[in-house]
Amino acid sequence: MKWMQCATLDGFDAKVVDVEVAFVRALPSFAIVGLAQTSIQESKERIKSALSAIEFKFPPQKVTVNLSPSDLRKEGSHFDLPIALLVALQKSEFEFEAFTAFGELGLDGKLKDTATLFAIILSLAKDNLIKKVIIPKQSLEKVSKIPNLEIYPCESLEEAIAIFNNPKTAKKVVSGESLEFSYIVINGKKYYFADEFPLDFKEIKGQESAKRASLIASAGMHNILFEGSPGCGKSMSAKRVLFILPPVSLDEILEKAKLDAIEGKEPDFRPERAMRSPHHTSTRASIFGGGSKNAKTGEVSLAHNGILFFDEIPHFPKTILESLREPLEDYQVLISRVNTKVRYETKFLFIAAMNPCPCGNFLSIQKECKCSDLEISRYKKRLSSPLMDRIDLYVQMGEVQPNDKSSISSKEMFNKVLKAFTLQLERGQSELNGKLDDREIQKYCLLDDKNQEILNSAVSRFELSQRGINKTLKAARTIADLEGHGDIQKSDILEALQYRFR
């Protein structure tokens, strides 16, 4: 019996699968066992055709392929290559277990890329489960972005077989960090950014408080809610936040590329964070993940390390809004199904926008609000207190005035974010200010006696919860970083308190 490693995708993570092939003297047959799904069962015909294309005679024996562990569901056409190699090299004494092979076979023996191949290899590489990998040449551009891999790209099954027949002449590529974007180095680690602003804050006239809050939210990844009349610039501000967010590490770029691959998109490896903006008619399963048998990813997990934007948030169903509590607080969501349980990371910047009333004119000085007190109350109550408590920054935006002018640009805002980002990492923080846990808050968000008195006074006056206190401290820490203050000052804590929803 001979065996070689492959893998299958289980939720977001890949699980190693041992491909074992045994040849028995019996009536000729070809069987694949081990919970192999249709795409793998169909590989038998592809493998036979590919082997015949290189003039290999299929052995007149009973060939049994076992995919271990046998209780794990496997799917994907990338199992074609390891099975074909083990069949073709049945008499070879080479140590196949040193390699992990992936690739779909064409009927002529050509190797093809698959949609999940990059996500699988990245997941295995992050856990140091693979070193030498054989892949289709089509996949090289993507897979070579994953560091510390010894890659053997092949155009055909014949080339893959040659790796074992003539190992000294086998062509290999050692992967590494090769992104051609601007970057900064902090504590010996590179952080990349695109330095492009297709949507610019300079295009928004007036709304200085909203721009300031957007700057704070971006610098510390704080959740933010914009409230204002229709057309005042709520959605414009939200969409421009994406381009002033902090730089990303290679790990974060690869993680986003992995999410793109799982979703069926072609990864672009740009240092740009994800932005997901589901419509209020979206189903709960599409937002949080679901599926009848196997757990599927949703918008909250696809927004990981990026932005989740809920426009017109009161129009979202109550069940969806209340379900947001877990991912906003614990930065993860657990999807449980009969056959599987999958835990997704959900560390994103949450942005929401809403009108002040159903007609939108409650704050208007030019238009008359036609809503009754009861309608306004019902509209506001769609956002519960526990959900609002998870919002770091609440901004009320006024109407656009004729004399409003452009002010700060996105590039200027990004440069400020960059300085604040550098200060946070140089302090030794593992997370940005908005995502600090209780222990880290006590370490990095210290107040002197006078500022503590101010906060204590605000706690009793505004009835702040413990979560509200922590949100205020984290926002004050970000404001201090933007202002270049080593310690949180009185002005920082007062400004942070202004953004609390009351």
Give the max Cα distance, the chain: 89
CA distances from 429 to 244, 362, 437, 440 (A): 20, 42, 11, 8
Query: Class of the 2-174 domain?
Result: alpha beta
Q: pLDDT (tens digit, 9 = 90+) per residue, 270-302?
A: 999 999 999 999 999 899 987 656 667 899 999
Beta 13-24 vs 62-68: how paired, if at all? Answer: antiparallel
Q: pLDDT (tens digit, 9 = 90+) per residue, 234-247?
A: 999 999 999 999 99
Q: What is the DSSP string of 272-329?
A: ---EE---TT--HHHHH-B-SSS-B--HHHHTTTSEEEETTGGGS-HHHHHHTHHHHH
Beta-bridged to residue 437, according to DSSP, are: none
Superfamily covering domain 185-404: P-loop containing nucleotide triphosphate hydrolases (3.40.50.300)
Is the pTM higher than 0.95? The answer reads: no
Q: Where in the chain is the domain with CATH 3.40.50.300?
A: 185-404
Is the N-terminal amide bond of 247 cis, ω within 30° of 0? no
Pure H helices in 54-110: 80-88
Both structure tokens of 252: 């974060």
Both structure tokens of 396: 């009320």
Question: Which position has the token pair 């002033």?
Answer: 244
| Distance between CA atoms of residues 145 and 254, nearest Å | 8
| Distance between CA atoms of residues 487 and 383, nearest Å | 34
Q: Where in the chain is the domain with CATH 3.30.230.10?
A: 2-174
Beta-bridged to residue 394, according to DSSP, are: 225
Q: Render each residue's pLDDT in the chain as its tens digit; 502 residues.
A: 789 999 999 877 899 999 999 999 999 999 999 999 999 999 999 999 999 999 998 888 999 999 999 999 899 999 999 999 999 998 887 777 889 999 999 999 999 999 899 999 999 999 999 999 999 999 999 999 999 999 999 999 999 999 998 888 888 999 877 788 999 999 999 999 998 999 999 999 999 999 999 999 999 999 999 999 998 999 999 999 999 999 999 999 999 999 888 888 888 899 999 999 999 999 998 999 876 566 678 999 999 999 999 999 999 999 999 999 999 999 998 887 766 778 889 999 999 999 999 999 998 888 899 999 999 999 999 999 999 999 999 999 988 888 888 889 999 999 999 999 999 999 999 999 999 999 999 999 999 999 999 999 999 999 999 999 999 999 999 999 999 999 999 999 999 999 999 7
